[in-house]
Structure 1
């Protein structure tokens, strides 16, 4: 999922974005475990992002679900995160998956 990405690519975290505690799936991208999360702009509660996942990949049957905590194309400030979206699309045509087949955390 993160092919072509630099390991230090910043994430723009905005109102309504998500950060995940992951118990299943594979973490593709996460916030640093400690330290100041703010690199630019304004952030309240950045310490709550420490160590949280921002992108998670789930294998469901023969399919793949990629959850993005932040919008990868947000204002196109950086083109790097767009690679995440294109990599997710590249992983092939989607197929219908019955909700009962999804891991509990993804059902709602």
Structure 2
């Protein structure tokens, strides 16, 4: 059994699959995607706290991000499109999708919430 755990951990490190997707407790609604499959990413509700054009990043207080098993919190994300930095401002209520791009959590889709 210990060898199986080691194999799972090594496989995870090599191919980058989150352990939650391998574990038996994973939610059937969980979505694991790649940047090329942006349409399958879950849209997450949030509120922009800060837009920083100098660094190309946006701070968002957000709900749970299911594709990363991340609880609700406030955090900094890289903007996938520089236009996001001009179109949105602190206080905007948004829906957004996040994926890992070049090793960084990146907003790949951002829109005003209805």
**TM-score bracket relative to the smaller structure:** under 0.3
More helix by share: 2
**Higher RCO, 1 vs 2 (CA within 8 Å, ≥6 residues apart):** 1
More strand by share: 2
Q: Structure 2 length as normaliser, TM-score?
A: 0.24
Larger Rg belongs to: 2
